[in-house]
Amino acid sequence: MSLRVTNTLSRQKEEFVPVDPEHIRFYVCGPTVYDYAHIGNARPVVVFDVLYRLLKQLYPRVTYVRNITDVDDKIIDASQKSGDDIGDITTKFADIFRQDMAALNALPPDIEPRATDHIGEMVSMIECLIEKEHAYEAEGHVLFGVETMEDYGKLSRHSRDELIAGARVEVAPYKKDAADFVLWKPSSEEQPGWDSPWGRGRPGWHLECSAMSAKHLGETFDIHGGGQDLIFPHHENEIAQSVCSHGGTPFAKYWMHNGYLTVNGEKMSKSLGNFHTVHDLLERTPGEAIRLALLSAHYRQPLDFSLRALDEAKNALDRLYTALRAATDTAVNDAETTSVLAALEDDLNTPQAVAELHALASALNRDPSDSKAKAALLAGGALLGLLQQDPEDWFKQGVGDVDEIEIETLIQKRVEARAAKDFAESDRIRDELAAAGIVLEDGPDGTSWKRG
């Protein structure tokens, strides 16, 4: 089976035909670094990390670009409220973002461009758009004129009036058309800014991704990804800027968007008390469980997130790791990922891929010596970014300050108590360990333990 993806541009599932089969290139909109990433921010990271892993399995070379937005009005507002330097804020939260996403087993992108390192490319793109009469200067601003692009709106498929209403566009007297959007805006002395032909200022958000993707992936590349909320205006405006500045050359061939995330059926909001940052969730749950929870629904569908779902994901991973732990001594040869690979090739069907993992774990539970099942489970897990730990490490993480030597000592004392038929002492030791979050499992090969 060949890779098929749902292309937002055509609204159809299409066979993936690369621009260059020897080199796949794709771009995903990255974070605006002024605060901790919330669980909704993590969904596209995890979704497109699975796509990255899949593409690397199928093609000889893949270049994955995910940007860092480090100049934005939200960052300026955060600096004004905290009194902290903008550079310090963006560096701090970019580092935290990388650490938190790594904890979710997300691979780093091949290239991670920062917007502030590409101001020259942005200025050049604006100059090109002005020269081609797709943009104009007005009161220190430079704006893209949407009426100069005949098929503006083709990605979101809304009428022009719907686009304006949906974007809640700024009404400004210097605009020729209410739908025109900013490419460059003036900066005050207190705001970050760069010299340009239109005065000291800073780029519009949409322009940043157009300039960075062109520099690192070329004028036309394979896949552009992001959240559904970015279809309009961000991705629509990226297309406009890029196509018009490149003389009509196509931009991204395929557009992939993940669905919205809600929490307990409601929009995530600090005022509702259902706002979860990845940083905080990692304090209570292993990152791999967060990842599995984010993959539990098809990427194009809405995902309702809850702490209960997170616990269910952790329990599901316990079952998978239990199968691997029982087969610890089973040698593996060449990995086969047929069933998991087939699910992912069908438009990243992660729920089906996870179901295939459980089927493989069931086969391994029936026969712990089944080397093919073990190999397929490990390889399929790797495609999903799961089952990356040694089973013993998985079960022993999160035991807090409990000393492993002390645990093993208590287990040995319990073995001795049982041998002496002192079951009261045996039960007391089990209860003591359970109170510390340690679960004992008795088997034919002795007693093992894991965190509760």
Helix (H, G, I), strand (E, B) or coil at 402: coil
Contact assessment for residue 214 and residue 208, using Cβ atoms and an 8 Å cutoff? no
Q: Tell me which residue has tokens 């032909």.
A: 197
pLDDT digits (tens, 9 = 90+) for 229-243: 999 999 999 999 999
Average pLDDT per consecutive 10 residues, the chain (452 residues; last block may be shorter)? 94 98 98 97 98 97 98 95 95 98 98 98 98 96 95 87 60 85 95 96 96 98 97 96 97 98 88 90 96 98 96 96 86 70 97 97 94 92 95 78 68 78 76 72 75 62
Contact assessment for residue 26 and residue 224, using Cβ atoms and an 8 Å cutoff? yes
Taking the whole predicted model, whether its pTM rises above 0.85 is answered as yes
Q: Tell me which residue has tokens 């070379």.
A: 61
Triad 16, 210, 214: Cα angle to 5° = 70
8-state DSSP, 352: H
Q: What angle do the packed helices 119-131 and 205-217 form, to 10 degrees?
A: 100
pLDDT computed for residue 69 by the predictor: 97
In what side-by-side order are the strands of the sheet with 201-203? 135-138, 141-144, 181-186, 201-203
Q: How many whole angstroms from its chain centre is CA 333? A: 31
CA distance linking residue 298 with residue 349, whole number of Å: 6
CA distance linking residue 158 with residue 176, whole number of Å: 21
Separation in Å, CA 268 to CA 272, 300, 442: 7, 18, 43
- Alpha carbons within 13 angstroms on the beta-carbon side of residue 298 total 13
Phi-psi sector, 179: left (phi>0), alpha (psi -120 to 50), beta: alpha
Separation in Å, CA 305 to CA 20, 35, 294, 302: 38, 21, 8, 10
pLDDT computed for residue 410 by the predictor: 73
CA distance linking residue 237 with residue 300, whole number of Å: 22
105: amino acid identity, one letter: N
pLDDT digits (tens, 9 = 90+) for 388-405: 899 988 988 865 545 667
pLDDT computed for residue 413 by the predictor: 74
pLDDT computed for residue 169 by the predictor: 54
Cis omega (within 30 of 0) on the bond before 233?
yes
